[in-house]
Amino acid sequence: MTNPLLDDWTTPFEIPPFDRIGDADFAPAMEAALAEGRAAVAAIADNPEPPTFANTIEALEMADRQLDRVAGVFFNLAGSDATPERQALQRRFAPELSAYASEVVSNAALWDRIETLWEGREALGLTDEEMRLLTLTRRNFQRAGAGLPEAGKARLTEVKSRLAVLGTEFTQNLLADESGWSMPLAEDDLEGLPGFVVAAARAAGRDAGAEGPVLTLNRSLIVPFLQFSPRRDLRETAWRAWTSRGANGGETDNRAIAAEILALREERAKLLGYDSFAAYKLEPEMAGTPDAVRDLLMQVWAPAKAQADADAAVLEAMLRDDGINGPLEAWDWRYYAEKRRRAEHDLDESELKPFFRLEAMIEASFDCAHRLFGLEFRPLDVPLYHPDARAWEVTREGRHMAVFIGDYFARSSKRSGAWCSAFRSQRKLGGEVRPVVVNVCNFAKGDPALLSYDDARTLFHEFGHALHQMLSDVTYGSMSGTSVARDFVELPSQLYEHWLEVPEVLEKHARHAETGAAMPKPLLDRLLAARDFDMGFQTVEYVASALVDLDFHDGPAPADPMQAQAETLARIGMPSAIVMRHATPHFAHVFAGDGYSSGYYSYMWSEVMDADAFAAFEEAGGAFDPATAAKLEAHILSAGGSQEADALYRAFRGRMPGVEALLKGRGLDKVA
C-alpha cells in the first residue's frame, strides 16, 4: 500500500488528500521525507563541482520539498484538530526535526560552499532576488551556529532539540487545561445573559455531552460571559480558571517549562556570541535592538496607563453604585465597561451581534479583496480535514491564485486563538506553485453563527494574513508570503482590519440575521464612534505582556519567571484591576516556540505602520483607491521577504511613520 502523503496528489489544485490520510501515515512519511532531505543536502555538500548559485543555494531551496509537504499537513492538523495520536507524534517529531535542521547548518562542507559564494558574490551576476536569497541563506546559517567550533555546534543542537520538546509540551499542556475545564450553569446562572451567550453555553453543553449549559474556556464564550453576567461570584470563578491556564499544578503546569525555556534561550544566545536572547532575536527584525522596542512600548504605555487609570475610577464608582464596597477587581472590568458602553454610546452587544453573521462577514472579507485586488472566490466541494472546514478557489481574471480554507468554529481538539497558516506556500522555482492557505478561528457555533465586533475584526485580521500568502509573487518559497520580519508580518493583517470599519462595507454586509435589514444608520454611527472605547484597558493588557516578554529575554534568564513577571509589572505600575493579556504559564506566543519570543511587541510595531498605511488610502480619496491598492500589492503583499521590511514599506509609502498615527487611532493622543 502506498502512503498518500508521499504519492502524487491528483486532487483538485493538489490539495492534500485528506480523506485518504490517516494518523498511521505520518510517521513513515516523515521518516521518508527526512531521509530524502538528508540525501539531497549531502548531494549538495559533496558535489565535486565548484559551488554555483544554482547547485548550492537554489538546490538547498528545493532540498526539503517533500519534508515541507508532509510537515505542512501534519502540523496544521495537529494544531486545528488534535488527537492523542497526533499529540504523541508531535512530541516525537519535534526533536527529530530540530536535529535535522541542526545537521544541515552544521555541515562544514555545505557552509564552505555558501561562504565561497558569499565572498565572490559581486562576480556572480545575481539578480536582486537571487542576492537576497544568498544573503538570507548565509545569515540563517550564521545565526544557527554554522561558524561555531564542533563542541559549540553539538551543544547548540542539544539546546535546540530540548527547546523543541519543551515548546510542544507547553502547547499540549495549555490545550489540556483549556479543554479540561468547564463550569455547569444552572438556569438561574443564565439570568442577565443575552440570548447569544445563552445559546453558546447550551451548544457547549451539548458538545460536551452535559445535561445543560456549560461555560468553557473558549474565548468566544468566556469573554462575553465576563462582559454580561451580573453574578460576580461566577465571574470570579470563570476569570480565575481563564487566567490560571498552565498554572494549576500537576502534569500540565507550565511554570517550570517556561523557566527552562528561558535558560536555554539565554544559553543559545551566548553560544552564538550575543549578550542576550533579545539581542540575538531582534537583530534581523525592523526594530533591531531591545532598546528600540522598549522605547516604542514606553511611548505608548504612559498615555495608555493614564487612560486606564481614569477609566478605572469611573468603573469603580459604578461598582459602588451597585452596593459593592471592595475594590474594582479584574473580573469586574469587562462587566462594568460593557455597562458603561451601553450608557455612553447606547451600544448593546446583543443588539449588535445579529448584524455580524459569520457568513456575511466572510462575504465582506471576500468583497473587499475583490474591490481592492480583483480576487474572486468560488466554493470548492472537496474532502477536508474536518467537517467544519470549507474551501474556496481564489482566481483573478481567470487565473488560479490560491485555495483558501476557512476553519472557523471552536472545538476541544483545536488550540485556542486564531491564526493563518499554509498547507503549501507560493514559489516559482521548479515550476509555478500556488498556495493552499488556511485561516483558523475559534468562534462559537450557532444557527446562525453570530460574531461579536471583535470576532469580526479577528476574521478580517486573519484574512489579511491570507492575502499576504495568496498574492505572493516571488521565485523562492523561503521568502514567499508571510516569510518576512516578525515585526512586519502583522502589517497586512492589522491593515486589513481597517476595511471592517469602512461605513460602506458595514452598510452592505452588516445585515440583520433574521430580517436582512441593514444596520440602522444611528446604530452604525454609534458603533464607529465607540471603536476606541476602553482602549486604555486593551492597550495596557497588551503592552504589559510585551514588556514582560522583552524583560524575560533582555538579560540573564530569571530563575523564577513568575517573580520576574511580577517585578516588571510592579516597575511599570500595572493597574490593579487589569492583568496581562497573556500571563507566563499560557503565553503561547512566547513559549510554544521561538516565533514571537522577544517579539510580542511586533503587533504594536506593525500597528504604527498599519495606521499610516490606511491613511494612504484616505489621502488618495477613499478606502478602495485602486492606485493605492496596486502599490500595496506590488510593494508589500506580493513581495514577501524579497527585500528588507523597511525598504518595502518605504517603497509603498515613501517614508517610515511615527507613533503619532497609532496613538490617534487608539484615541490616546489627547490623554493628559
Burial-class residue 132 by CB neighbours within 10 Å (0-12, 13-18, 19+): buried
- Report the 10 Å Cβ neighbour count for 185: 23
Give the DSSP letter string of 573-588. Answer: T--TT---SS-GGG-H
Is there a catalytic annotation at residue 338? Answer: no
The one catalytic residue among 285, 462, 541, 607:
462
Task: With H, G, I as helix, E, B as strand and everything else as coil, classify residue 214.
Answer: strand
Task: With H, G, I as helix, E, B as strand and everything else as coil, classify residue 438.
Answer: strand
Give the DSSP letter string of 104-166. Answer: HHT-HHHHHHHHHHHHTGGGS---HHHHHHHHHHHHHHHHTTTTS-HHHHHHHHHHHHHHHHH
* Helical (H) or strand (E) element with 308: helix 290-321
Please enumerate in sequence order all residues whose Cβ is within 8 A of that of 158, keeping only pairs 6 or more positions apart, or say none.
Answer: none
For residue 595, what is the DSSP state?
A: T
For residues 228 and 349, the answer to whether their CB atoms sit within 8 Å is yes
For residues 461 and 496, the answer to whether their CB atoms sit within 8 Å is yes
Picking from 224, 500, 526, 485, the residue whose alpha carbon sits closest to that of residue 349 is 224
Per the structure block, which three cell numbers stand in for 306? Answer: 493614564
Place of cell 460574531: 451
Task: With H, G, I as helix, E, B as strand and everything else as coil, classify residue 392.
Answer: strand
Sign, Cα dihedral of 548, 553, 558, 560:
positive
For residues 477 and 425, the answer to whether their CB atoms sit within 8 Å is yes
Percentages of the chain per state (helix, strand, coil), in multiples of 5: 60, 5, 30
Per the structure block, which three cell numbers stand in for 565? Answer: 513577571
Distance, CA of 75 to CA of 582 (rounded, Å): 23
399-409 and 419-424 beta bridge pairing: unpaired
Per the structure block, which three cell numbers stand in for 654? Answer: 515613501
Picking from 48, 38, 58, 52, the residue whose alpha carbon sits closest to that of residue 102 is 38
For residues 271 and 145, the answer to whether their CB atoms sit within 8 Å is yes
Per the structure block, which three cell numbers stand in for 379? Answer: 466554493
Per the structure block, which three cell numbers stand in for 538? Answer: 486593551
Per the structure block, which three cell numbers stand in for 230? Answer: 451580573
Distance, CA of 593 to CA of 217 (rounded, Å): 22
Picking from 644, 651, 633, the residue whose alpha carbon sits closest to that of residue 469 is 633
Tell me the CB-side half-sphere exposure of residue 147, using CA atoms within 13 A: 10
Rounded to 5 degrees, what angle do the CA atoms 138, 142, 148 make? 140
Distance, CA of 442 to CA of 456 (rounded, Å): 12
Please enumerate in sequence order all residues whose Cβ is within 8 A of that of 262, keeping only pairs 6 or more positions apart, or say none.
Answer: 277, 552, 553, 557, 558, 561
Per the structure block, which three cell numbers stand in for 569? Answer: 509589572
Catalytically annotated residues: 462
